[in-house]
Amino acid sequence: MTHPSHPAAGLIRPVRQSSLCVGLLLLLGALMLASLNFGYVDIDQSDLIRAAFGLSDPSTNMIVQQLRMPRMLLAVMVGMSLGASGAVLQGLLHNPLAEPGTLGITGAASLGAVIAIYFGFAATTPLSLPLFAMTSAGIATLLLLFVARDNGRTLTLILLGVGISGVSVALTSLAMNLSPNPWAVSEIAMWLLGSVRDRTFQEVNLAAPFILIGLIMLMACAPSLDILSLGEDSARSLGLRVGRLRILAIGGTSLAVGAGVAVSGSVGFVGLMMPHLIRPLVGHIPSRLILPSAIGGGALVLAADIVVRLIAVGPELQLGVLTSLIGTPFFIYLVISLRKRMA
Amino acid sequence: MRRRHHINFGSCRPCRFALAIGMALLSPMAWAPAAAAPAKGAASAHRPKAASFGLCADQMLMMLADPSQIASLSPTARGPLSAYAQRAKAFPINRGSAEEVIASGAKLLLQSDAVSPTSAAALRQFGIKTISIPMANSWPEIDAMVRQIAHELGQSARGEAVIKNMHQRLAQLHPTSPTNQWPSIIYYRPDGGGAGAGTFVDISLKAAGFRNLQSLWGPPQWGGIPAERVLRQPPDAFAVSYFDTSNNGTSILRRNPLLWGQARTRPIIHVPGKYWNCGSPLLVDAVELLVAERRKLIASPTYRASSSRASLSRSQRPSP
């Protein structure tokens, strides 16, 4: 099994990983600064700078420091987890269509959130929402780990992910179906569409440790992924501990993505798009893909979150809607181009 | 799509910005819920300025607060389902974000319909009191809800006046005939749901002198009566509401030819969605409309003919 190459392979010359990362970081930094500018209240530049230091009037300080900053940080963290886990999962499963959504981790985390909303835990204790989502992502991960340890086939994992997603969707629909509260359905539906609006440092504090640990685990996958790209049997014969790699990849993904979904709902297709956009730039070497994909993912989600705030008419567009609008055509393009190359 | 701000970073600004972010993140203020910001144009200490998210909250705020207390309303306040659409034009409209509420200097947020639970949760952290309008599905619950919201707004006297007025009007509208002589009715929403026991629609139908068949037969709350049941025992009238604002309240009855066969020969009472979008004193408007329709129905020759025929079978309650 060879590593699937990008449709645009050979057209783009690889660049050095360090310069790529620096470039992406500059882009991310610019977007982070820009994102503080946009919101629902007009704050001029000088006031914005003062407010960032806590030197403006209390309400402006509060808006900039405690609403726009956590929102910006969450968008970046969520995007980084999605980008990094997409890159790792595509390498691990030799499947260009793999991403957290495919393995059912996003779906399971959303289910946890929906249970919290449905049973009213979210209304009484807001913190139960993220806790349920992470627990549920953890259960899905344990199931994946259990199968991954016993079964060497990567295809099994993808199929198991499809199964977990299916169960999650079914139970989510069941909760919406049985809901006695007529508003719960719209609350659940909105949650599933994903957003980082009006999050505070409470959410950042809750998600950040898990996302950080998850990202470190994902980065640790890098060297092994290169060996794995030679094929699973060759990798084993070269002494690669495939089980350890799987635990790192799946554990890292579920920590980072589970915590992200818990505070932002599901933001789809970032994990699919970012690695494909970066891959030709790093010469199709899996280990060099993870860090740039993470930074790029952060930039992509943040850019999307700026766009939803720029559309100043009507209710705010949900973040997940926008990423899916961009992501689904990309997904279809990928499927079609893969089919052509296989034929 | 319009850009709200012009981004103009000077040569040195990015570094100052980065520093600011770093400092802000390190400062304890950013990591702990802040104390309340001083009021910016608050109405007064005991009559706090308030904003609302959600239609029911908008209506209650306009009903009970002084105009100077209203910081902002949600866009639905001006929409076709709002009972006070015209009045709402005098007030600023928010897009349901925490930023707007903070900047407006509101001390209180009324919220309904679960529009922005996250925004409300964020505001609670910043010391802004957040009240969810409780779902009121009985007249005593509506009294309690009005009392609570009026108290929070420092308008208890106005709240009591509203409650008194509501009960006076209801008493005037209350039918004098015994319950078993009331015309029967089935209520449908465009999506096929109805209103059974434990809904504010049910109490409105009862207050207007209709026997709501769904509250007798089930299902309770917002499910709908299956068409089979309607064919077996058609009601004297149907009530429909349009919450899709397309004036297409009859769509559920039209979609099913069998249901339509029953409905086309009976009065269909259209109740505009703005009359009963939530359990509040505004329901009395719906009751008034229903009472007028009931009088027309009772006076009609077809109803008189059928009522003598049906009075026998009506005493036998259908098995649940």
Angle between helices A242-264 and A105-118 (to 10 degrees): 40
Please classify residue A271 by burial: count the beta carbons closer than 10 Å to its beta carbon, then call 0-12 exposed, 13-18 middle and 19+ buried.
Answer: buried
pLDDT tens digits, B184-202: 999 988 777 888 988 999 9
* pLDDT computed for residue B45 by the predictor: 63
| Cβ contact A49–B37 (<8 Å) | no
pLDDT tens digits, A237-270: 888 888 888 888 888 888 888 889 888 988 988 9
**CATH at B56:** 3.40.50.1980
Would you give the DSSP letter of residue A101? T
Q: Is residue B320 part of a domain?
A: no
Are B295 and B214 in the same domain?
yes
Q: Is residue A19 part of a domain?
A: no
SS3 B88: helix
Using the 3D structure, point to which of B100, B116, B134 is the last residue of a domain. Answer: B134
Percent of chain A having pLDDT more than 90? 27
Chain B CB within 8 Å of residue A142 CB: no
Distance from CA of A211 to the nearest CA of B (A): 17
Enclosing domain of residue A301: 79-342
Are B116 and B191 in the same domain?
no
Enclosing domain of residue B185: 177-310
Using only the alpha carbons of chain B, give its radius of gyration. 25
Distance from CA of A342 to the nearest CA of B (A): 42
Distance from CA of B37 to the nearest CA of A (A): 5
Q: State how far the Cα of A80 lies from the Cα of A300, in Å rounded to an integer.
A: 9
Q: Computed from CA positions of residues B23, B27, B33, B38, in that sequence, does the dihedral angle turn out positive or negative?
A: negative
Chain B CB within 8 Å of residue A180 CB: yes
* pLDDT computed for residue A155 by the predictor: 67
Using the predicted structure, report yes or no on whether residue A320 has a pLDDT greater than 80. yes
* Phi/psi-derived region of residue A293, left when phi > 0, alpha when psi is between -120 and 50, beta in every other case: alpha
Q: In chain B, how many domains are there?
A: 2
Angle between helices B301-315 and B283-299 (to 10 degrees): 100
* pLDDT computed for residue A152 by the predictor: 52
CB-defined contacts A:B, below 8 A = 139
Are B208 and B100 in the same domain?
no
SS3 B125: helix
For an interface test with A, which of B102, B119, B191 has the most A Cβ atoms less than 10 Å from its Cβ?
B102
DSSP secondary structure, A60-99, as one string: HHHHIIIIIHHHHHHHHHHHHHHHHHHHHHHHHHT-TT--
Out of A61, A69, A180, the one facing B221 most closely (by C-beta) is A180
Q: What does the pLDDT average to over A192-198?
A: 87
Using the predicted structure, report yes or no on whether residue A26 has a pLDDT greater than 80. yes
* pLDDT computed for residue B41 by the predictor: 43
Specify which residues B51 forms β-bridges with: B72, B109
Q: State how far the Cα of A120 lies from the Cα of A289, in Å rounded to an integer.
A: 41
| Cβ contact B100–A40 (<8 Å) | yes
Are B214 and B277 in the same domain?
yes
pLDDT tens digits, B140-165: 999 999 999 999 999 999 999 999 99
| B85 or A337: which leads in pLDDT | B85
User: What confidence tier does A150 reach under pLDDT thresholds 50, 70, 90?
Assistant: low
Residue in this structure with the two tokens 């910016």, named with its chain if needed = B40
Specify which residues B238 forms β-bridges with: B186, B268
Q: State how far the Cα of B28 lies from the Cα of B30, in Å rounded to an integer.
A: 5
* pLDDT computed for residue B164 by the predictor: 95
Out of B96, B99, B122, the one facing A199 most closely (by C-beta) is B122
Q: What does the pLDDT average to over A95-114?
A: 84
Out of A63, A187, A314, the one facing B99 most closely (by C-beta) is A63
Q: Is residue B128 part of a domain?
A: yes
Are B111 and B205 in the same domain?
no
Q: Is residue B62 part of a domain?
A: yes
* pLDDT computed for residue A70 by the predictor: 94
Chain B CB within 8 Å of residue A179 CB: no
Distance from CA of A93 to the nearest CA of B (A): 36
* pLDDT computed for residue A153 by the predictor: 61
Q: In chain A, how many domains are there?
A: 1
| A8 or A23: which leads in pLDDT | A23
CA nearest neighbour of B169 among B15, B283, B308: B283
Distance from CA of B17 to the nearest CA of A (A): 7
- List of chain A residues whose C-beta atoms are within 8 Å of the C-beta of residue B37: 57-59, 61-62
Q: Is residue A274 part of a domain?
A: yes
Q: Is residue A113 part of a domain?
A: yes
- Give the residue ranges of DSSP H helices in chain B: 13-26, 28-31, 55-64, 98-104, 117-125, 139-152, 156-173, 200-207, 213-217, 227-232, 251-255, 257-263, 283-299, 301-315
pLDDT tens digits, A205-215: 888 988 999 99
* pLDDT computed for residue B40 by the predictor: 41
Q: Is residue A43 part of a domain?
A: no
Are B305 and B221 in the same domain?
yes
Using the predicted structure, report yes or no on whether residue A148 has a pLDDT greater than 70. no
ipTM of the complex: 0.75
Q: State how far the Cα of A109 lies from the Cα of A131, in Å rounded to an integer.
A: 10
> C-alpha dihedral over A272, A310, A295, A144, to 10 degrees?
-40
- List of chain A residues whose C-beta atoms are within 8 Å of the C-beta of residue B119: 197-198
| Cβ contact B96–A183 (<8 Å) | no
Q: Is residue B293 part of a domain?
A: yes
The answer, yes or no, to whether the previous bond of B219 is cis (omega within 30 of 0) is yes
Are B121 and B220 in the same domain?
no
Q: Is residue B4 part of a domain?
A: no
SS3 B220: coil
Q: Is residue B22 part of a domain?
A: no
CA nearest neighbour of A112 among A223, A257, A2: A257
Are B222 and B302 in the same domain?
yes
Q: What does the pLDDT average to over A170-182?
A: 80
User: What confidence tier does A23 reach under pLDDT thresholds 50, 70, 90?
Assistant: very high
Q: State how far the Cα of A168 lies from the Cα of A110, in Å rounded to an integer.
A: 8
- List of chain A residues whose C-beta atoms are within 8 Å of the C-beta of residue B95: 40, 314-316
Q: State how far the Cα of A258 lies from the Cα of A114, in Å rounded to an integer.
A: 13
Q: Which residue of B has its CA nearest to A50?
A: B20
- Judge contact between B204 and B273, C-beta under 8 A: no
Q: Is residue A303 part of a domain?
A: yes
Q: How many Cβ atoms from other residues are within 10 Å of residue A282's Cβ?
A: 23
Q: Is residue A23 part of a domain?
A: no
Q: State how far the Cα of B293 lies from the Cα of A49, in Å rounded to an integer.
A: 62
- List of chain B residues whose C-beta atoms are within 8 Å of the C-beta of residue A265: none
> Which residues of chain B are modeled with pLDDT < 70?
1-45, 114-115, 243-252, 307-320
| Cβ contact B23–A53 (<8 Å) | yes
| Residue-wise burial string across A150-175, b where 16 or more C-beta atoms lie within 10 A, e elsewhere | eeeebeebbebbeebbeebeebbeeb
Nearest 5°: the CA angle A201, B74, B41 is 75
User: What confidence tier does A87 reach under pLDDT thresholds 50, 70, 90?
Assistant: very high
Q: Is residue A26 part of a domain?
A: no
Q: Which residue of B has its CA nearest to A317?
A: B95
CA nearest neighbour of B129 among B152, B104, B161: B152
Using the 3D structure, point to which of B105, B134, B163 is the last residue of a domain. Answer: B134
Q: What does the pLDDT average to over A80-86?
A: 94
* pLDDT computed for residue B95 by the predictor: 87
| Cβ contact A187–B114 (<8 Å) | yes
| Cβ contact B117–A63 (<8 Å) | no
Out of B9, B37, B118, the one facing A59 most closely (by C-beta) is B37
What is the value of pTM for the model shown? 0.80
Q: Is residue B72 part of a domain?
A: yes
For residue B73, what are its two tokens? Answer: 């309303």
Chain A CB within 8 Å of residue B309 CB: no
**CATH at A198:** 1.10.3470.10
Q: How many Cβ atoms from other residues are within 10 Å of residue B92's Cβ?
A: 12
| Residue-wise burial string across A216-233, b where 16 or more C-beta atoms lie within 10 A, e elsewhere | ebbbbbbebbbbbbeebe
Residue A332's Cβ-side half-sphere holds a number of Cα atoms within 13 Å equal to 5
* Cα–Cα separations (whole angstroms), residue B168 to A50, A72, A162, B171: 56, 53, 60, 5
Are B201 and B281 in the same domain?
yes
Are B73 and B194 in the same domain?
no
- List of chain A residues whose C-beta atoms are within 8 Å of the C-beta of residue B126: 62, 66
Q: Is residue A99 part of a domain?
A: yes
Q: Is residue B208 part of a domain?
A: yes
For residue A284, what are its two tokens? Answer: 């199709």
Chain A CB within 8 Å of residue B92 CB: no
| Cβ contact B24–A65 (<8 Å) | yes
- Judge contact between A278 and A287, C-beta under 8 A: no
- List of chain A residues whose C-beta atoms are within 8 Å of the C-beta of residue B116: 197-198
Distance from CA of A279 to the nearest CA of B (A): 30
- List of chain A residues whose C-beta atoms are within 8 Å of the C-beta of residue B5: 37-38, 42, 44-45
Percentage helix, strand, coil, to 5, in chain A?
A: 75, 0, 25
pLDDT tens digits, B76-121: 899 888 999 999 999 999 988 899 999 998 999 999 876 677 888 8
